[in-house]
Amino acid sequence: MSGSTASTPPIDRANQARDRGEWAAAARLFAEHLATATTDWPAMVQHGHALKEAGEAEAALDAYLAAEALAPEDADLQLQIGHLLKQQGRWEAAAMRYARAATLDPANPIAAIEAAGTERMRPRGAEAAPPRAQGADPRLVFDVTDLLDHFSVRRTPTGIQRVAIGVLSPILEGGLPAGALTGLGTAFAVFDSVPGVWRRLDRAPFAAIVRLSRTGTSITDPDWVAAVDAIKEARKLAPPVRFAQGAVLVNLGNAFGIPDYFRGLRRAQAQSGIRWLPFVHDCVPLEVPEHCLETMLGDYAQWFACFATHAAGFLCNSENTRRDVLRHMAALLPGRRPPASVVRLDGDPRSGLAPSPGALAEIPALRPGERFVLFCSTIESRKDHHLVFSAWLALLRRHGAAKIPRLVCAGRQGWHAQAALDLLAQSPLLRRHVVLTGEVSDEALDLLYDACAFTVYNSHYEGWGLPITESLAHGRVPVVPRHSSLPEAGGSAAVYFTPRSEPDLVAALEPLMLDPEAMAIAEARLAVAPLRPWSALTMDVLAAVRALPEADALPVVAMQPGRRYPTGRNRLTRPDAAMAVTDRLRDGNGWHPAEAWGVWSKQGPVALGLPLAPGFAGQALRLYLDLRAPPRPLDLRIMARAGEEETVAVLPMKPGPDFIAAIDIPPMPDSSVLEIDLDTGPGVRLADLGVDDPRTIGIGIRGVMLCRADDLLSRLGYVEAARFPQAEAEVQPA
């Protein structure tokens, strides 16, 4: 009898235990089955049922949410999640699930009854359930992923986060003119990279954390910790967005650090025809790469290549940024010129609220009534504090300490700031005249702007220069270099100096410090720089959304015959059209994130999608797959398909060094994509091999090449490139 039980598959034993009401045993057996069958979402639902009946509510919720990632349109699953949340007293989240179920299956009476009855059953004092409209398909979705990722580690917003908060706050707080959002069905969403879907975020915890981000810097403050925990819970419970057909997805921040972002975007574009409208804040990694981290250069280059092929249009903050984007895009994809809307950041950032008493404690101990100059910026290579410190030292030596105001630097220490900090450390005279505040809250920053005599802002390159606008808003003259977008930000009110010129910076600072008449003339020019309310910037974004053309065919960059396309994380620092091809290779959700060497598939069938150039049609082809073998033997089934034609091969694999598999493909009809299905069966569970890694892996792909079967030069070149991959990483477009 025991032998018979041992040979019975875990899923059958799990179902038997469930039918007997042995919930703990059923949960264990379903988990055993799911260790290899990680896409069996009905089994995940049953696993959740067993865990719920066994009294493990949170584990049950995790199982339901894992199933939802694979089956976001299943109405019954939404009901099950709603039931569990209601049992836990999480009324608002339960109401959202019931409304979602009723939307997915309007004929289901249970969903309708539960959606209507949740508010009635809510205990007095519990939070109110959201209106049924939460389940509507939104036409305008704001992607706030990078903003929430920032808040998970830091509280104080930097420039890009300030822009996103400034644009979104009038929507969150109802500060727009009547009718501004009519017909748009606005929603907020966060990207979940594992299933590759956007999840619809509840506004309440999002609005709460945005408000708190402006009032302090401490990430251990109990109110902040509670807000972060609430956002984590909201992200976990948020249902997948069901985009309206042709909806616009706006990303006001940066997406180049989010794994597999474009894979999810392509899926949403294919399913709902969404139009992606990102905000490009600058092209700094392409203009001054020497002032950026190397990892950022690779991520940005990859992002820019994919941005060029996925965006229906783009927003940017200045004419200079627009020119930069279109110039780099033209070099990447000649003829590509998507609609570009400039949203000038000339908005008044002041809240109009009196600072809280706690904000005063953040201000450094300045003498009462002391004149000082403010430099608001992260201390990093690109901001070149060294030049400003050198100018201050020259002024101190020329005029004496009594005549030169202190320099207050508001901002955290960032990357490659050592040269400036060393100069400060080595000069006692300079140290007495420079104050480093570290991070300060928005409230404290307002006090610093109000108290300073004027401001200085230095940089090697900018997309806009938000501290210049902040200085103007507080009636303070900004001193800035004349380059990139800074003249757009400063207009005729700023005092300019020659970039990277210490003598010219000294000449600009000296009269403002020592000549009251010169200072009065400079301050008089501030009147010609009126600023708009930030809600006007929000209206600019909404106008760009409404003006965006209906869905149009986006460019697809095809594979070039004979070129090797590495599948690992990008190491090149300039955008290349091949990067867009590489990003498209991994199709569907069957892949783990890319690593430096390449990428592992998950177990079971996975797909590669090879966009084809016209020259491949009707030709006998040779496909090369540069493979990394799994740590134990398995059979790899390879199927190539273009149109209705298929070619199948089975490749036995065993542990060993990387190797190249060559697959001959007979002439196929004209097709835009060659689909490659790879199947390793159950794969290899790394934990079973004693590896501290929860993944189950299939096959590793290091690179792909496709050429005509008779193209011997390309075949030889591919073997060399695969044998010496470092050479490829060092050669890139100018």
Q: For the residues of 434-487, what is the DSSP string, one character each? A: EEEEES--HHHHHHHHHH-SEEE---S--SS-HHHHHHHHTT--EEEESSTTHH
Local confidence band at 510 (pLDDT 50, 70, 90 cut-offs): very high
Distance (Å, whole) CA 195 – CA 282: 30
Q: Does CATH number 3.40.50 belong to domain 140-346?
A: yes
660 membership: H or E segment, kind and range: strand 659-665
Tokens representing 28? 């264990």
Q: What is the pLDDT of residues 671-717, one digit of tens each?
A: 788 889 998 888 888 988 888 988 889 999 999 999 999 988 888 88
Residues 534/348, Cβ–Cβ less than 8 Å: yes
Domain ranges of the chain: 2-134, 140-346, 357-530, 565-730
Local confidence band at 7 (pLDDT 50, 70, 90 cut-offs): low
Q: What is the pLDDT of residues 621-672, one digit of tens each?
A: 999 999 998 888 888 899 888 777 788 888 888 898 988 899 888 887 777 8
Residues 279/163, Cβ–Cβ less than 8 Å: yes
DSSP state of 411: B
573 three-class SS: coil
Percent of the chain with pLDDT over 90: 50
Would you state the pLDDT for residue 731?
A: 34
Residues 657/578, Cβ–Cβ less than 8 Å: no
Q: H helices within 122-158, ranges in order?
A: 145-151
pLDDT at 183 over 60: yes
Worst-scoring range by mean pLDDT, 69-78, 94-103, 243-252?
94-103
Distance (Å, whole) CA 305 – CA 320: 20
Local confidence band at 597 (pLDDT 50, 70, 90 cut-offs): very high
Local confidence band at 725 (pLDDT 50, 70, 90 cut-offs): low
649 membership: H or E segment, kind and range: strand 645-653
Q: What is the pLDDT of residues 337-362, one digit of tens each?
A: 999 999 999 999 887 767 776 676 77
pTM over 0.85: no
Question: Hey, what CATH class is 2-134 in?
Answer: mainly alpha
Local confidence band at 454 (pLDDT 50, 70, 90 cut-offs): very high
List the one residue out of 445, 446, 369, 367 whose CA is nearest residue 412: 445
Would you state the pLDDT for residue 269?
A: 93
pLDDT at 571 over 70: yes
Q: What is the pLDDT of residues 88-99, one digit of tens each?
A: 777 667 777 887
More confident site: 305 or 715: 305
pLDDT at 260 over 60: yes
pLDDT at 379 over 70: yes
Q: Do domains 2-134 and 357-530 have the same CATH topology?
A: no
329 three-class SS: helix
Worst-scoring range by mean pLDDT, 67-76, 125-134, 418-427, 460-469?
125-134
Provide φ and ψ at 276, rounded to 5°.
Answer: -95, 125
Distance (Å, whole) CA 491 – CA 493: 6
More confident site: 486 or 648: 486
Would you state the pLDDT for residue 132?
A: 33
Average pLDDT of the residues in 484-507 = 97
Q: Which of 84-98, 113-127, 294-308 has the highest mean pLDDT?
A: 294-308
List the one residue out of 547, 378, 529, 522 whose CA is nearest residue 458: 378
pLDDT at 255 over 90: no
Beta strand 248-251 with 275-280 is parallel
Would you state the pLDDT for residue 117?
A: 57
Worst-scoring range by mean pLDDT, 175-179, 250-254, 371-375, 420-424?
175-179
Local confidence band at 504 (pLDDT 50, 70, 90 cut-offs): very high
Percent of the chain with pLDDT over 70: 92
Q: Is the dihedral of CA 554, 559, 561, 564 positive or negative?
A: positive
List the one residue out of 533, 545, 466, 485 whose CA is nearest residue 279: 545
Angle at 135 between CA 131 and CA 139, to 5 degrees: 115
The three-state (H, E, C) secondary structure of 337-363, written as one string: CCCEEECCCCEECCCCCCCCHHHHCCC
Average per-residue pLDDT for the chain:
87
pLDDT at 729 over 50: no
More confident site: 454 or 27: 454
Question: Hey, what CATH class is 357-530 in?
Answer: alpha beta
Residue type, 522: A
Q: Which CATH architecture has domain 565-730?
A: Sandwich (2.60)
